[in-house]
Every structure is written in C-alpha cells, then in structure tokens.
Amino acid sequence: PSSARKAWIGGNLNAHGALTVDAGALSALAKGASLLPAGVRAVEGDFERGDVVVVKAPDGREVARGLTAYAAEDARRIAGRKSHEIEEILGYRGRDEMIHRDDLVVR
C-alpha cells in the first residue's frame, strides 16, 4: 500500500506549486528525511494543505514531489524557520515538517 500511495503522489497528480530547498535539505531528502521548513528557500504557486508540490534543488531541477502540510501563504511565512517557531509565527501548532517523508517521493 505504501508503494502504491507513493506512485500516486509521484506520478499521477498535478503539482500546484513548488518549494526550492537549500543544499542541506537536499542532502537530507536523499537520505530519506522529511522536508523541514528550515530547508525551504522559496515558495512558488498558490496551493492548499494536502496539495502536491514539486521540490526543487537550488539549481532549479525537480528532485521530489510531495503532499504539503501547509498552504502556500503559511509555507511562505515559515520557510527558512525552525520547526519550534511555527506556532509563534502562525498562531497554531502545525506539523514540524513542511512535507513528511511518508508523503514525499524523491526522484
């Protein structure tokens, strides 16, 4: 079931936006980690929580796709920030991850 879900995320859904990550986040993703807000450098598009977004390397190439835990507006507000700062910034306690590894397909 997990592999079918990841195939669905990775190939059958249209992306509604993109998150550009830094080199540290890129390395962590390659090792199977979740994408944390601290590693996000730019947010593109207009998407809602649960939408598929493309994850881009610093050079702009697509490295992953995943279901985002935050809408675009909130993602922009927490991009580059530590997970423990999310509640203070947004006014509610969201997920620590921008995209949890279970919702992420690395290419």
The SS3 assignment for 65 reads: strand
pLDDT in tens, 7-31: 878 876 789 999 999 999 999 999 9
Is the predicted pLDDT of residue 1 greater than 70, yes or no?
no
Contacts 24+ apart (CB under 8 A), 83-91: 83/36, 83/37, 83/38, 86/37
Start-to-end CA distance of the chain, whole Å, equals 19
pLDDT in tens, 51-104: 999 999 999 999 999 999 999 999 999 999 999 999 999 999 999 999 999 999
Question: What are the residues facing 65 on neighbouring strands?
Answer: 54, 105
